[in-house]
């Protein structure tokens, strides 16, 4: 399957083949967010990978930065510290919710569902957890562990940031922070769970479910979900 460059609704789909430095991506994403809000620029869903970086949300506590071995960037999103790096697939979602249900909670719920449904396509059952941000699954030791992070910001009803899924990152890199402020649970990946998946295969599965994700934004959230400015 060849991944299209346009998604339903004339949304641009961009797939970066080389790692994009986080600061560079943040600058471009911020500019595109403003252009969508003020000038009606084309919406964007962007799949990419970052060099190793720790990003700090607006609720990040300095005590949760345990070992700043990588660059630390203030992301402008809600939430706390998150790691991005090689082997992790990041999806930035820049959509105008004024064209849809204008429901921030529903947007986050739909993002979560998009990731959960795609992981299921690879035989990984994942889930939301009340009071814990992110996408969770059962790790190889039988304990719950995070496999995906959610973090968004909404400005003038235009979204930015999105989610990151651990495909095959170096999980030791997460040890430099308390991921999302949650100490008692670890992180896992598709590779750790025994699934050999490359980015192209993941992207194809994710894009195949994009239509369902976009359709879900047409209706308000059916039940409570995570606060939108989280990680």
Please answer whether residues 79 and 57 qualify as being in contact, where contact means their C-beta atoms are separated by less than 8 angstroms. yes
> How far is 38 from 32, CA to CA, in rounded Å?
10
What's the token pair of residue 128? Answer: 């939301």
In a domain, 109, yes or no: yes
pLDDT in tens, 181-226: 556 678 999 999 999 999 999 999 999 999 999 999 998 876 554 4
Whether 230 is covered by a domain: the verdict is no
Q: Return the pLDDT at 180.
A: 60
58 part of a folded domain: no
Helix (H), strand (E) at residue 104 = helix 104-121
**Is 83 flagged in the annotation as binding?**
yes
- Characterize 155-165 residue by residue with b for buried, 16 or more Cβ atoms within 10 angstroms of its Cβ, and e for exposed: eebbbbbbbbb
The chain-wide mean pLDDT, for the chain, equals 91
Tokens read off for 161: 């940031």
Q: Give the pTM.
A: 0.91
At residue 144 the predicted structure's pLDDT band, cuts being 50, 70 and 90, is very high
What pLDDT, on a 0 to 100 scale, did the predictor assign at position 229? 43
Q: Show which residues are catalytic.
A: 180
CA of residue 107 relative to chain centroid, distance:
12
Binding residue per annotation — 134?
Answer: no
163 known ligand binder: yes
Residue 126 is predicted with a pLDDT of 98
Q: Does residue 12 lie within any of the structural domains?
A: yes
Report strand pairing: 6-7 vs 126-129.
unpaired
Per the domain annotation, does 56 fall within a domain? Answer: no
Query: Do residues 183 and 62 lie in contact, with contact meaning Cβ atoms separated by under 8 Å?
Result: no
CATH code of 111's domain: 3.30.930.10
Residue 91 structural domain: 6-48+85-175+182-216
Position 150 pLDDT exceeds 50 = yes
Q: How many domains does the chain have?
A: 1
In a domain, 153, yes or no: yes
Report the distance separating Cα 194 and Cα 86, nearest Å.
18
Give the tens place of pLDDT for each residue, 104-135.
Answer: 999 999 999 999 999 999 999 999 988 888 99
In the chain, the percentage of residues whose pLDDT exceeds 90 is 77
Kindly state whether residue 76 falls inside one of the protein's structural domains: no
165 inside domain: yes
Q: Which carries the bigger pLDDT value, residue 228 or residue 162?
A: 162
Q: Is 81 annotated as a binding residue?
A: yes
pLDDT digits (tens, 9 = 90+) for 12-64: 999 999 999 999 999 999 999 999 999 999 999 999 999 999 998 888 888 88
CB contact at 8 A, 69 and 60: no
Separation CA 89–CA 167 (nearest Å): 7
Which residues, at least 6 apart from 58, have a Cβ–Cβ distance to it below 8 Å?
76, 77, 78, 79, 229
Q: Residue 228: what pLDDT?
A: 44
150 has binding-site annotation: yes
**Joined tokens for residue 73:** 């960037």
């Amino acid at each position: 399957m060849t991944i299209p460059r346009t998604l339903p609704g004339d949304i641009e789909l961009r797939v970066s083949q080389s790692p994009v430095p986080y600061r560079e991506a943040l600058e471009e994403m911020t500019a595109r967010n403003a252009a969508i809000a003020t000038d009606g620029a084309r919406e964007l869903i962007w799949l990419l990978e970052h060099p190793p970086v720790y990003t700090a949300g607006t609720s990040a506590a300095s005590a949760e930065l345990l070992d700043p071995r990588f660059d630390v960037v203030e992301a402008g999103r809600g939430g706390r510290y998150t790691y991005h790096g090689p082997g992790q697939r990041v999806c930035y979602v820049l959509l105008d919710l004024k064209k849809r249900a204008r429901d921030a909670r529903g947007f986050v719920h739909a993002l979560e569902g998009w990731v959960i449904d795609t992981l299921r396509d690879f035989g990984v059952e994942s889930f939301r957890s009340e009071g814990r941000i992110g996408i969770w699954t059962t790790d190889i030791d039988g304990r719950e562990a995070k496999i995906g992070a959610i973090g968004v910001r909404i400005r003038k009803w235009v979204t930015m940031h999105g989610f990151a899924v651990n495909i095959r990152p170096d999980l030791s890199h997460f040890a430099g922070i308390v991921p999302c402020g949650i100490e008692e649970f670890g992180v896992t990946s598709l590779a750790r769970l025994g699934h050999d998946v490359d980015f192209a295969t993941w992207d194809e599965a994710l894009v195949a479910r994009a239509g369902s994700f976009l359709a879900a934004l047409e209706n308000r959230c059916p039940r409570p979900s995570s606060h939108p400015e989280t990680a």
